Amino acid sequence: QVQLVETGGGLAKAGGSLGLSCAVSRPTFNTYALAWFRQTPGKAREFVAGIDWTSSQTNYADSVKDRFTMSRDNAKNMLHLQMNGLKPEDTAVYYCALDYRRPWSSGKTSPADYEYWGQGTQVTVSS
């Protein structure tokens, strides 16, 4: 059973930084794609960033490009999201997601593209 556990998040001021991490509970051999999504109350879950575990190729939502950086640590089975230049509109619950079914691609941005999810961690950015 795959488990994803997010840590990090919390409260930051606009312009500040926060880091999120996601621990993956099983070996990453044959892991295809991981991603970060976020969701605010009453809105659909939104793609933030995705990564190909093998090649480390990444893609980002336009809203976070040049501010957020996603990375992975193969040895520790960890996924990271460094968030800089935070804005109040970045306030959301952030989720990491994993999919083994199909390889990573830059178009893999829908929640339906990912099979496993973490429980989420709150990020709040004050103005």
Q: Please answer whether residues 56 and 81 qualify as being in contact, where contact means their C-beta atoms are separated by less than 8 angstroms.
A: no
**What pLDDT digit, counting tens, does each position of 56-81 carry?**
899 999 999 999 999 998 888 899 99
**What pLDDT digit, counting tens, does each position of 96-124 carry?**
999 988 889 999 999 999 999 999 999 99
Q: How far apart are CA 85 and CA 15, in angstroms?
A: 4
